[in-house]
Amino acid sequence: KFKMNSNDPVRVNLSPDNTACCREMKLSDTFDTTNREKFRPVYHFSPLYGWMNDPNGMVYKDGEYHLFYQHNPYGSKWGNMNWGHAISKDLINWEYRSDAITPDAFGTIFSGSAVVDHNNTAGFGAGAIIAIYTQNGDRQVQSIAYSTDNGRTFTKYADNPVLVSEARDFRDPKVFWYEGTKRWIMVLAVGQEMQFFSSPNLKNWTFESSFGKGQGAHGNVWECPDLFELPVEGTNEKKWVLLCSLGDGPFGDSATQYFVGTFNGKEFVNESPSKTKWMDWGKDHYATVTWCDAPDNRRIAIAWMSNWQYANDVPTSQYRSPNSVPRDLSLFTVDGETYLQSAPSPELLKLRDVSKKRSFKVNGTRIIKDMIADNEGAYEIELTIENQHADVIGLRLYNDKGEEVDMQYNMTEKKFSMDRRKSGDVGFNENFPMLTWTAIESGKDELKLRLFVDKSSVEAFGDGGRFVMTNQVFPSEPYTHIDFYSKGGAYKVDSFVIYKLKK
Ligand code: FRU
């Protein structure tokens, strides 16, 4: 059962086999649903019905975070793209709204962003929320729609589209206000590059420059850009970060890379052209974008937690794919190179319920069965480990069916890895079984790790988010046990805390 907060109709697909069975639901309707699927996450955002991919139009206004998203309201496979919509006051509890922007003669509604037009530059009213999105029809064009009721309803601009091109892949506008030139900036993914446009009013756009040739990873098209400025930890400096998703990540297909450099309102310059930097070292972290106008100058990112290689095949039926947990971004420097740090957003602490804390030494194996009572498969593990000569620091989450996720710090090779090859149902697509890994900073004996486990995912945050790894898993029952193991020496778990996480 669910409650709706307005009389906006919601289209509901009630067919598990994804046939075109669709009903319009109104506030006055109440119905039971078999929608509580086994793999539906407990605390990650997932669409009520149907397919979801990229987060879109993330904007904060008057105490509310808006999350729009690529949504197929008619079924749980990709197609018929609309902008789904949800609102939250705390990034944790989301209120489902009906789809905000729906297809028209210019095409279906692809990814894009939203801004608050404080100065009424577009003439739709001061404080209007304006969505800028791609329409996918005969070609890809950019359109706008505005809301003067805090995102509850949107009106499409009568003179859409506002930006067209001959380019076939011309999409995913990220728009923000640049105070330096007093212009709106749009970053657009165009084939294998990013293009920058500027506008005084969100309606008339001027091409400024392009970026991409010979920079970072290529392969397949670039998608879902974002561009923002962040302070560099321990300095008075600020740098610009350009996010870019693409289908050629370190473990196959979908991943988000980023560039660090300067932006002057016209041009982005990458300070390390020979380096490729990844935001997340798992297989399921794509289309990462950040909130506009978030309070306290925070830069909060969220990603789609899947991979185009198998997103349409994952073993769910009423819905497909959640988002990652929100992350607060910052910059840090190691050996003269600046990197992005993605820390779990502090709001996630609100999810913590019952906890248990222990400390112990591991020399061989230490088994902890039934880590926490009433474990529904939604928990956080917070670890501080002191290495005392171990070559391998291992931990294994597992269930009574012999399904497991194995994680290791390899101290000799300076790597952290996550192996989901035996994590449960892995056979629905040949690209799903996988061990993912990342290099870790050398010379550290104190290791800090936070693991967010939900019904069908594991997100690992190392060293406060200096490395992150996000992977989906589909166990037949939750991982209720954990083994700590060591190879080649001992280590001390200074603190092992497990929190049950609330819905
Ligand atoms: C990225 C993407 C975008 C596009 C959207 C369509 O996942 O391919 O480039 O706008 O999905 O759903």
If DSSP states are collapsed to H, E and C, what string results for 301-353? EEEECCCCCCCCCCCCCCEECCECCCEEEEEEEECCEEEEEEEECHHHHHHEE
| Residues 440 and 475 grouped into a single domain | yes
Confirm whether 395 is domain-assigned: yes
Amino acid at 236: N
pLDDT in tens, 254-268: 999 999 999 999 999
pLDDT at 32 exceeding the cut of 60: no
Whether 74 contacts 103, CB under 8 Å: no
pLDDT (0 to 100) of residue 15:
45
In the predicted model, is pLDDT for residue 59 greater than 80? yes
Mean pLDDT, rounded, for 227-247:
97
Range from 75-84, 176-185, 482-491 carrying the lowest mean pLDDT = 75-84
The pLDDT assigned to 33 comes to 47
Is residue 62 one of the residues assigned to a domain?
yes
Instruction: Give yes or no for residue 285 CB within 6 A of ligand 1.
Output: no
Q: Which of 109, 193, 223 to mutate to test the pocket of ligand 1 (most atoms within 8 A of CB)?
A: 223
Q: How confident is the model at residue 37 (pLDDT cuts 50, 70, 90)?
A: confident
Average pLDDT over the chain, rounded to whole? 92
What separation in Å is there between the alpha carbon of 122 and the centre of ligand 1? 26
Is residue 223 within 6 Å of ligand 1 at its C-beta?
Answer: yes
Same domain, 350 and 291: no
Picking from 344, 370, 405, the residue at the C-terminal end of a domain is 344
Residue 302 or residue 445, greater confidence = 302
pLDDT 10s digits, 375-433? 789 999 999 999 999 999 999 999 999 999 999 999 999 999 999 999 999 999 999 99
Task: State if residue 224 touches ligand 1 by the CB under 6 angstroms criterion.
Answer: yes
Q: Tell me the CA–centroid distance for residue 54 and ligand 1, in Å.
A: 7
pLDDT of 31 > 70? The answer is no
Question: CA 56, CA 67: separation in Å to the nearest integer?
Answer: 7
Confidence tier at 460 by pLDDT (50, 70, 90): very high
End position of a domain, from candidates 344, 362, 380:
344
For residue 254, give the ligand 1 atom closest to its CA: 7
Instruction: Please check whether residues 331 and 407 belong to one and the same domain.
Output: no
DSSP 389: B
Q: In this structure, are 163 and 86 located in the same domain?
A: yes
- Note whether residue 236 is domain-resident: yes
**pLDDT attached to residue 11:** 56
CA angle 470, 473, 476 (to 5 degrees): 160
Query: Are 340 and 350 within one domain?
Result: no
Q: Which of 87, 116, 117, 115 is nearest to 100 (CA)?
A: 87
The reported pLDDT for the residue numbered 483 is 96
In a domain? residue 5:
no
Residue 391 lies in a domain: yes
Q: Are residues 351 and 326 in the same domain?
A: no
For 441, other C-beta atoms within 10 Å of its C-beta total: 13
Is 70 exceeded by the pLDDT of residue 125?
A: yes
**Rounded distance from Cα 303 to ligand 1 centre (Å):** 12
User: Would you state the pLDDT for residue 73?
Assistant: 87
Q: CATH number, domain at 311? A: 2.115.10.20
| 2 pLDDT tier (thresholds 50, 70, 90) | low
Q: What is the pLDDT of residues 305-362, one digit of tens each?
A: 999 999 999 999 888 999 999 999 999 999 999 999 999 999 999 999 989 899 999 9
* CA–CA dist 331, 287 (Å, integer): 20
The domain of 113 spans: 10-344
Pair 25, 83 in one domain: yes
ipTM: 0.98
What is the model's pLDDT at position 471? 98
Pocket flag, ligand 1, residue 270 (CB < 6 Å): no
Is 60 exceeded by the pLDDT of residue 220? Answer: yes
Ligand 1 atom with minimal separation from the 286 CA: 7
- Atom 8 of ligand 1, residue of closest alpha carbon: 223
Where does the pLDDT of residue 18 fall: very low under 50, low under 70, confident under 90, or very high at 90 and above? very low
Are 134 and 199 in the same domain?
A: yes
Strand, helix or coil for residue 13: strand
Pair 287, 319 in one domain: yes
Asked whether residue 253 carries a pLDDT value surpassing 50, the answer given is yes
Other beta carbons less than 10 A from residue 469's beta carbon: 23
* 317 or 212, higher pLDDT: 212
Residues 416 and 339 in one domain: no
2, part of any domain: no
d(CA 327, ligand 1 centre) in Å? 21
Looking at the fold, whether 83 and 204 belong to one and the same domain comes out as yes
Q: Over pLDDT 70: what percentage of the chain?
A: 93
- Residue 54 appears among annotated catalytic residues: yes
Banded pLDDT at 9 (limits 50, 70, 90): low
Domain boundary among 316, 344, 372: 344
Quote the pLDDT of residue 10: 59
Q: Tell me, yes or no, whether 48 and 130 share the same domain.
A: yes
Residue 202 to residues 69, 129, 167, 317, 364: CA-CA distances in angstroms?
A: 21, 12, 21, 39, 62
Q: Is the pLDDT of residue 55 over 60?
A: yes
Q: d(Cα 418, Cα 397) in Å, to the nearest integer?
A: 11
Query: Contact at 8 Å (CB) between 172 and 224?
Result: yes
**Residue 3 falls inside a structural domain:** no
Q: How far is the CA of 222 from the centre of ligand 1 (A)?
A: 10
Question: Residue 450: which CATH number?
Answer: 2.60.120.560
Reply yes or no on whether the pLDDT at 198 is more than 90.
Answer: yes
Q: Based on the structure, what is the number of domains in the chain?
A: 2
